[in-house]
Structures are given as C-alpha cells and as structure tokens.
Structure 1
C-alpha cells in the first residue's frame, strides 16, 4: 500500500501545473457537489416526509370526521363516495378505507384484487381505556409498490368509538422530488464546475505562462546568457509577478557578480601565469614542500636538473641539495639554512648556494619549506681562477727575484768557463767537461730568461698590429714542419677584425708556443683550427686554437698555466711555455683559458675530421685599440 501511495505521489508530481490545478479544482467541486447533493436531498427528503405525514394526517382526520354520520346510519354508498373523493383528492394517495368498531371493513378503495387483510393488523384497535389517548397514528409499510405511509385516525363521537379511518400515501413523490432536487443541484454544480474549470484554465494559463517565462530565463542563465529584459517599474502585482520581477533583478545582479568573478578570475589567471613564468624562467632550482616533506611545486630548472617531472609522491635522489636532515630542522624549529654544497655530477663537480626557509601559514604555524639552489659553479671557477692568478702573480714576483739573484752567478760561471775553454786543447777531457758546463749554464740562463719574461721583467714594445697577420706569419713558418707529422693547420680569420695594440714578437712567440703544444697533444695525423672573431659587443678580439688531440684531464686544466707544470716526459719540456704565454697575454690586458673537451661549436668540425680525440681549445681574448672602433657588420662569426 505504501509503495502504491508513493507511486501515486510520484505520478502526481510529474503532472503539469495546469493539470494539477484542474484536478484540484475538479476534486474540490466534485466533493462539494456530492456533499451538497447529499445534504440537500437529506434535508429536502426530511421536509417532504414531514409534509407528507402532515398531509396524510390531515386527509385521515378529514375522512374520519366525514364518516361519522355514514357509520351511524350505515350509509355504505356514502362511505364509498367519501373514500373515492379522498383517494382522488391529490397525488400519492394509494388507498383509503373505513373500519367499524369491530374492525370490519365498511368501505375501501381497493378494487379487483380485493382488500389486503394484512392492513388490518398494522395498527392496534383502540379500547375503551385507551380511547381518550388515542390520536392519529402512522406507520411506514414496505410493499411491492414501494414504501407507503399508513395513517389511522379513530372515528369518535363523544366518548363512543365508531370505527377507524385509514389512508395510505406512497413515498414515490418524495423520491421523485428528491431526484429532481438532486438533478438540479448536480446541474448547478456542473455549471459551476464548467465555469470554475474555465476560470481555472485562464488562471492556470496565466500562472504557467509566467512560470514558463521564468523557466526560459533560467534556461538562458544556464546557457551563460545573462541578458534578460530589463525590468520596468510597475504597480505591485500578485506573488508570481513579484517573483518574476525579483528574478529579473536577481539575474542582473548575478550577471554583474559573474562578470566581476570572471574579471577577478582572469586577473588571478594572469597573475598566476606571470608568477609561473617567473617561477619557471628563473635559473635557480626552486621547490616547495609541505610539512610532510611532499613536493607541492617545482620549477623547470629543478625538474630539468633531476631529469623528471616530480609529483608529491616522487622524490629526487638524495644528494647535497636534497638533504632530509636539513628539511627536518627547518620544519621542526623554523631554522633558515644557507650554505654552499658540492654535488658530484656526470659532467664533474657542481657548486650550489642552497637556501631553505620555513613557510608559515596565517596562524604562524610552519606548513612547509621553500628551497632554492643557485648554481655558483662559474663563480667558484672564477674564484679559483682569481686565486690561481694571485698565486701566479706572487710566484712571478718570486721567480723574478730569484731570476735576478741567479742571473749574476750564471753570468760569472759562463764567463769563466769561456775563458778556460780558450786555454785548453781541443781534444782534452777538461775541455769536454767545460763544454758541458757551458751548455748547462746557457740552458739555465734560458730558464732564468723565461722566469723574467713570466714575471714581466722584460720591456714590452706595444704598437698597433694586425692579429690575423701575426697568426699567418707563425702558421707559414710551422705549416711545413707540422705537415711532416701529418698535422694540418686550418685558419678562419675574420677579415673585418680591427687592429689591436700589442708586442708583435712576444705575441708571435705565444702563438708558436700554443701550436707546439697542440702538435704535442696530437702526435701524428690530426687537425689544428685557428679562428679569429669579435666578441664582447665588438670590443675584444678572440683567437681560438682548437686541436683534435688527446685533450686535457679536468684536474690538469687548473694547473696548465702554473710554472714548471708539464705532462711531458722528463727532459721534454720545462713547464714554462704556457705560464709565459699566460704572462704575456695578461700583460696585454687580455685573458687566456683552456677548454677540454672541445666546446659545442667545434664538435661538428672535429667530427668532420674523423678523429676520436676529445681535443682542446685554447681561447685568447685581447682588447682592441681604443682609437679603432669595429666597423659595421664586423665580428658575426661563430666565435662571437
């Protein structure tokens, strides 16, 4: 039953509003009509019944009064005449008859079928004792013809009971009157129902039309159309009209609010994009972690360094940058950590300046940490170079002082040796020993001369010169010798390179020294490339000497410009060549650096040579002369 009621409620809820209104009004009118019909017919039936009873009693009393004389005179025709007049006096009178005091029928209106004897026992016969209290009596009888009211009035003369007058009235007229009344009520209710349905339809159509307009407006809002008809001021209407007006105003307010939200959203998106761009563009490694150590955000540099896109459940390998001990310290007590860490990478050692700061929430609680790691390998390299330069400068001053102190005794030794050689015979053992002393003394003087050159004790003769021409002179002297070892020298000069101010002979010695070192690194069968270009916004000349040799170890790169450092076998070199070149270039206000393996821009050239060696590139940068600005378009080579 409950399920049936629930199904009925669901079906009723799915009906349109107009149908619900019609059903409600119809049900109300039907219930009202039924109740009105029942009540009216009941009231009318009772009234008609009482009227019928009163009419029956009046007819019976009249008949009893008129039958006194015929009963006394036994005037049977007179009684029959009275009976006929009574029966024909109005509608609904079924029968009439008169009994004498003995209960014998004196006259009746029944014909053909005879007098029904059952009627004699309907009313009790009055007695002498009950006669004074005996008045009109009525009984409702059920017969084949329907219900009949039977009325009985005693015929009394003085205190003498002469007989009884009886009249029977049918209820058919009452039923007919009740039916007519019910039909009239039903017709009236029907007309009222039709009128109500019409008015209800008009009312429902008005309501549904307004609701449909609201529904259409709601559908437009769902389609992001917030342009309803602008509400116009009008007199106050019904509740639906007020609802429609309020809905229009709500739509306009919602449109303005959504526009504000969209503008705010766009502003937030732009700010987020800007912050994300700044976050990703910065070369520092940046990561944000929550209080549980999970990664909430990382920038591109961080992901690129660790080679993966990290999520909150993925952590990079632990190294000097990723130190969970530091994280615990920051998250637990809010300490800010700033330190330099060294990380062993695939390309060697990398130095980072690591900074970890706690991130606090609105309540001051630590909710995470922000980590930044800045690559300071280049700065560290510059620091090492600065320390190395300072060390070499100190070493140069020391070497200059030592060279001065040694140069005098060497000159004396050489002088006395040459004097003794003049006095000794040509084939004597003593002469041979003195020749060895003379040779080694000259070698020592060359070393001392190199030390003086390294310490800039010698005078420089600087003048405006063509760098390309200086290189060509050295290459023309060495090309034939190098070719015998299978080594080819290629040059790529920049024809628009401005002149520089330098000591021609000292720079030629530097180029020759660099070429000799390249030949030693190659051994046999290789290539040497000399390229000149402009760099540093056209204010410096860059000379790059690249070879296809065996390259230089990473640890040795830091030492190659140190005096007396050499990787050659004993007796093959003094270790002063590159240190002297370093001193000459520095004295010219330039820089000299070594790169091994070859830089990216020279790898394609090395591959074309078909040589497996990693190679080395010596890069020399010299300032241009101040009165010779670079011409337009100069210096657009690969080395710029």
Structure 2
C-alpha cells in the first residue's frame, strides 16, 4: 500500500511538473514571438528588409530550440525567413486564424514543432505577422528528465517509508496485534486474556509494601491505579478514574506508566477482568431470576384464579393457565392480542373503556360479574389494579378473577335455609295456637263416644277422633321440627328421617296435585350426624 501510494503520488507530481514545463515552454514561445513582433514594427513600417533579416536571424541563432522564424506582410507575402534550403510553402496554409493566439502543434520531418503567430500592428493598422517555430522535442527531453528525477525521488522516499514502516511494525504493530488477538479471544468468550506486558516491578515491590490485604497485592494483571479500595495513603479508598490525579505523583505510577498503547492494553485487561466479574454476577442473577420466574409461573398456573397482565396499550403480555383453559385458548394465542381479538365486540368495548379509566385515574376496580355458560350461570369476583414501574408511572394492568359460583349457591341455600327456619318458627307458633283447640275437640269426641250408643253417630265420632289425632300428630311434628336444640351427633336412620319430612310436606304437594312416591333403599346404613339438621336438608330439597 505504501509503495502504491508513493508511486501514485510520484506519478501525479510528475504529470503536474510535465504539464507545468509544457505550459512554461508555450509561454516562452509566445513571449519570444510577441517581443519579436514588437521589435519588427519599425523596420516593417520603413520596409528595411536588412534590419528585419538581422532581427530574426539574431533570435534564431540565440535559441537552439527555435527551429524557424519568418515575417509576412499584411498580404501574407514573405518578407524575411531563416530557412536555408528554401521556404516551405505548406507553412502558409496552416495557422491562418489571426484571432487564435494559441500555438499550433505541427508534425514535420524535423519532429513536432509548436508554431506561434503574432500580429504586427500600428494603431489600428495591420502591418503583417511574424511566425516562430519552437521545437517540442527539447521540451519533451526536459519533461523526461523531470519525470526521471521525480521517479528517483519517489522511489527514495518510498524506500525510506518502507524502512520506517518495518521499524514501526516491529515496535508498535506487535503490540497492536497482541491487543487484536486479545480482542478476538474475548469475542470467542475467553476473558482470561492479557494484552499488556508484565511489568519488571509490581507496586508492592517498588514501595516494599507488605499489606497483603490490599486488592493490588499479588495482582499482576491489573495496575494498582485501576483497582478500587487500594490501601495506598494517597488513594483514600477512591475508585478509578477519581483516584488517577492522586496517583500521578506516586512512584509506582511514574515507574510503570507506559505510552498510549501500553495504557490502552492495560485498560483493555482491566475491562476484560471487570467484564468477566460482571458476567459472573449477571449469570448468578439470571439463575436466581430464572428460578423465581419458574416458581412464579408454577404458582400462577396452579392457582384456580384467572390472572392476566396487559401493557398500556391493553395488549396481553401474560395469561394464566386457568384463564386460558376457561375460555379455550392457548397461552401463545393470547400473548400479543387485545380483548377485541379474543372476545365479542360489545364485551371487548365495555372492557376497553373500563380498563382505560383505570389506567388514566390509577384507581383499582373491584366488581362481581356473571356469565351464562352451557353448564349454567357462573359468578366471578374481579379485581383490576394498575401496575407501576420504579418511576411510579403506570405501565400496565393486572387482572385477577375468582370463580365464586359455589359461594353464590351456598349463599342462596343459606337464604333459603333461613327462610325455612323462619317458617319453622312461624309453624311452631301456629302449632302452639291450634294445639289447644285440637285437644278440646279430641277430648269431647272421646267423651261423646262413651255416652252415645247410636252406631252411625259413633262411627262419625271415631272419624272425628281419628282426624283430630292426625292433626295433633302434625302439630307435634311441626313443634318438633321448629324446636331449636343443640346439635347432637348420633346414629340416624336415613329412611326414617326422609319419611318424617315427607309426612310434613305430603299434604302441601297433594294440594298441588303432586304425589310423592317413596322408593327407599332398606339397605342404607345409618349415618352419624344431627337428626334435625339432616331433616332440614331434606326439607330444603323438597322446597327446591
């Protein structure tokens, strides 16, 4: 490259000098022609042919490269010339344009010649013209000598440059190559490289320091001024580059500090060690974060609650397993989508405005919603809260939803149970009120049976007694059912418990033209529980 550049510069300079010499030759020819035309004005006006001849012969003999000179009058008649073998008439046929002041290059038997022409005027009167032929061969010889000199000079400079470059490559390029190789190793992932050269003496050897707890003690890869927390008196625990000013006066710095390349190599070594330490720290942090992410993902996938995360554009960035399974999606089909891509437009539009309000105001939203599903109505308790970053700016929206359908059903059953409990208390009160008249009716019917002998009348009284006893049993059952007692766990006959409840509700069903058919399994084993609470369960079933 150096040779090519040197030769290119030499050729350019040679071309420039050749062009300059050529232009200089042309200017010289024009000067000779113009001067001669000025001097020939007076002899031409006086028609002194001898003086004209002497003038042109004098110029012709004075300059070796002047090939010819001849003088023409205004009618282009030859008045004087320097030709010895006769005048070449062909010269009168060229360079006829009097307005062209540039020389014309002619090819002759004596070589190439520049033909210069200058008019001889006196005022506005044209007296004639003078023509001068200047040899181009002499100019070419000068140009060739100049080119040879330029080429020799260029080769000398290039040779000197090559010698200097070789010396520079041995003193500088070697360290650059070492630095390049270290960079290549780092690119390959090997951070255990050393671009700088080992020092003749380390800091603890120069200062005769015995503080082995110092970070610089025993570290041959990094210079002490690059290390934080060194125990030098002037460092005061500062870190690089804040400690560099105090280190400049240290004898260790003065002894070990090199040129710019050495400083670059040492800084490169420090960078490699620092990057290695940071990579190890980041690797550990990445492992910890990975474990936490997997743990969090497991928790979110195991929980039955719906969990989703959206950014400020309400695009899903996370969707829990329960959410995806409930709506029949795959997680990859949800990520990157919005509600308009997943749900009906009217539902998505309602959710969009609701979520935008949360993002604008920063106020969380808690509500209960319901869905009509093929397996029945579903209730959800929904919580939407904004997500903040470290700058306390809202960056997204977190949604959690819990299926509370069973809770709602239990609430409805509890309300129904409370209604039945109130109805039982009411029935107990009514039973107390009608129990006394029933006792009177039953008592009088039994007294009349003792006094009446008529068969038909006695039959009627027995019917009254039977129905009164039936009413008394119903009242007794109502009182037993409505009576509040502490829960007692005992053996309970399931079939008997069901029959007692049927006896209570059978008449009400009969009024609605409903007949209860009992098909109980006699092999059912007794249960351990509270008989009254079990009867309340059967009563709720019949009430539904």
Question: TM-score with structure 1 length normalisation?
Answer: 0.43
Between structure 1 and structure 2, the one with the greater Rg is 1
Question: TM-score with structure 2 length normalisation?
Answer: 0.49
